[in-house]
Amino acid sequence: MNKAHRQFVWSELGKMIPEGSFASYIVESLAAELRSTLETIEEGQPDAYWEVSPAEGLFTLLDDGWSLEVEWFQWTDGKFRDDDEEEIPPAVSRHFTASEQMAVYGLSVLREGLDGLPEISEKLIEEKKVSKEELSEWSTEALLEAYQALVFAQKLQQENCQEAGKMSRVKLVDFSVLGKIGANKRHAPMNELRKWATERYAEGRWPSANEAAHALRDVVLEHSRVIGANLSEKNAQRTIAEWINRNLSGR
């Protein structure tokens, strides 16, 4: 039964993210930012905010006019790249809607709550950390939250939904501020890595930023894993060189 429901919800949520839209290129990145925001709110306002489910909480946030900022998805070279690290075509409008963000969150709930279960369920049961009944409950809860996300995404598409939401609900949290805190928290490891890499550059003598980046690539990648920064191996040298150039220019 869950499989049929999952396929239905997955399909309906997918329809909320038009093919070729900016959101369709960055589904995974967008989901990660949304989850980071929700985690920060949970930590900062557990009593006032988490009486509702995460999906309902995100709906409240989006319905109150908050949105992730497009600039958060811009790489250090000034380009926007998709989840496969390919440049997004310039013709694609750098914009995503509240309903698209809600739908992306719903897809991430399905992916993490249901798709991941077959890979870990046997190990968890074997180690007696959870029972089959608990895993079934986990799967059902994820499906219900994804259904919730679908309903909220559809509501956000309605013409007067945002104004109605703002008029009918007292804001419990300054979501705009917390959203920015969430983004800052998520990007903190990469900012720390950038500082660390430029400090290593300052300790040596290099004929150019590119040569320094080539020499420092492996140690910077190793440090990125230690501090939990998401530095792509594929683009590491280019990114490090740009950090060095920006540091030299004082930007």
The answer to whether the CB of 53 falls within 8 A of the CB of 148 is: yes
pLDDT tens string 86-107 = 999 999 999 999 999 999 999 9
> How many whole angstroms separate alpha carbon 73 and alpha carbon 230?
13
Question: Could you count the other beta carbons within 10 Å of the beta carbon of residue 2?
Answer: 13
pLDDT tens string 5-60 = 788 888 999 999 999 999 999 998 899 888 877 877 766 555 544 456 788 888 98
- pLDDT at residue 162 is higher than 90: no
Residue with the two structure tokens 């949304």: 34
239-250: average pLDDT:
80
The pLDDT of residue 39 is 75
Angle (CA) 109 114 116, round 5°:
100
Question: Could you count the other beta carbons within 10 Å of the beta carbon of residue 213?
Answer: 23
Phi-psi region of 20 (alpha: psi -120 to 50; beta: other; left: phi over 0): left
For the chain, give the mean pLDDT: 77
User: To the nearest 5 percent, what fractions of the chain are helix, strand and coil?
Assistant: 70, 0, 25
Q: What is the DSSP letter of 111?
A: I
| Alpha carbons within 13 A on the beta-carbon side of 167 | 5
Q: What percent of the chain has pLDDT over 90?
A: 30
The pLDDT of residue 237 is 87
